[in-house]
Amino acid sequence: MCLCHGSLYPDHDLIPSRYLTRVGDIEVMVISDGAVGVPAEGLGINVDPAERDATLRSKFLPEVVDWGMNVIVIRSGGRTILVDAGTGSEMPQSTRTGRLALRLKAAGIEPGSVTDVIATHLHMDHIGGLLDERLRSHMRPDLRIHASAIDLEFFKSPDFSHNTFGGLQDIIRSSSQKFLDAYQSELRPFTKEFQVAPGVVVTHTGGHTPGHSVVRVSSRGERLTFAGDALVPLGIECPEWQNGFDHEPEEATRVRVGLLREAAESGELFMASHLSFPALGRVAVDGNAYRYVPATWAY
Ligand SMILES: [Zn+2]
């Protein structure tokens, strides 16, 4: 399989890579770590391939679908919280990711100003950036890394029996091991839920990985949910489609549908790691499925 795609923009500066929004009093900046092309067979592994291909065509999507790599930086209560960290150099075959260190710098965010990291789960495209020396060597000694106790245990010896999308399992295994070794003293495991800062709560969902978690930001009656990998491209329009990266596919579907239902009812801002940058939008009910309504950019 091929995750490499030449970029149209070799200097990576001609495309937007950060977007700042507010949720009440809380500042949320979306930063793009880049994008990875994922072959379409990684999506909808439980549906008929002809149906899957027809759906892709109807959405004008190619056979290799670009997955955005979105990270957020939240500022609340004097804390600066990085939610996920992109791939770093853990996916060497992917030439369009691993930009987080450069893009934090471009956004004026010093790695040493980050007080907390939330890892939605321990896949390499969410923790790899923390292994990048350009970030790691500048992190403060009292950094706190919040991750589900379940994932911290699971990734000591991960089970890939339901994770059908081959080719990345060795990287997932080695990256999570390096992460666990490198950040032992910074890890702050949580079980169900933990408030990292005022209005910033990480909540365990399971599904994509056993310890997968989402982040909720709320202030002054406004709310944003960062759904991590509870859904990936086409996950809103086709919520029953399982993807080949889910460790617990059926549970992942229940989690996805639950989050979408909640987002549609509340009208809150909703984003997920792998939607197209800046991945900010809302979810609307559309018959038996859902429809994504991108948020209007605020200039
Ligand atoms: Zn991911």
Query: Would you call 220 exposed, middle or buried from its count of C-beta atoms within 10 A (0-12, 13-18, 19+)?
Result: exposed
21 CA to centre of ligand 1 in angstroms = 22
245 CA to centre of ligand 1 in angstroms = 8
The residue extents of the domains of the chain are 18-294
Residue-level pLDDT at 293: 96
d(CA 40, CA 184): 36
Residue-level pLDDT at 166: 67
| Phi then psi dihedrals of residue 253, to 5 deg | -65, -45
Residues 6+ away with beta carbon under 8 Å from 197: 74, 76, 77, 78, 79, 81, 116
220 CA to centre of ligand 1 in angstroms = 30
Residue-level pLDDT at 260: 97
- The separation between CA 259 and the C-alpha centre of its own chain, rounded to angstroms, equals 15
d(CA 57, CA 113): 44
67 CA to centre of ligand 1 in angstroms = 9
204 CA to centre of ligand 1 in angstroms = 16
115 CA to centre of ligand 1 in angstroms = 23
9 CB neighbour count, 10 Å cutoff: 9
Given this structure, which CATH class describes domain 18-294?
alpha beta
Closest CA to 190 of 259, 119, 271: 119
Residue linked to tokens 């970029």 = 7
First and final C-alpha spacing in the chain: 39
Residue-level pLDDT at 230: 98
70 CB neighbour count, 10 Å cutoff: 26
d(CA 45, CA 40): 9
Residues 6+ away with beta carbon under 8 Å from 185: none
d(CA 97, CA 34): 4
76 CA to centre of ligand 1 in angstroms = 25
269: enclosing H helix or E strand: strand 269-271
Over the stretch 182-192, which tens digit does the pLDDT of each residue have?
999 999 999 99
Q: Which residues of the chain have pLDDT under 50?
A: 1-6, 8-10
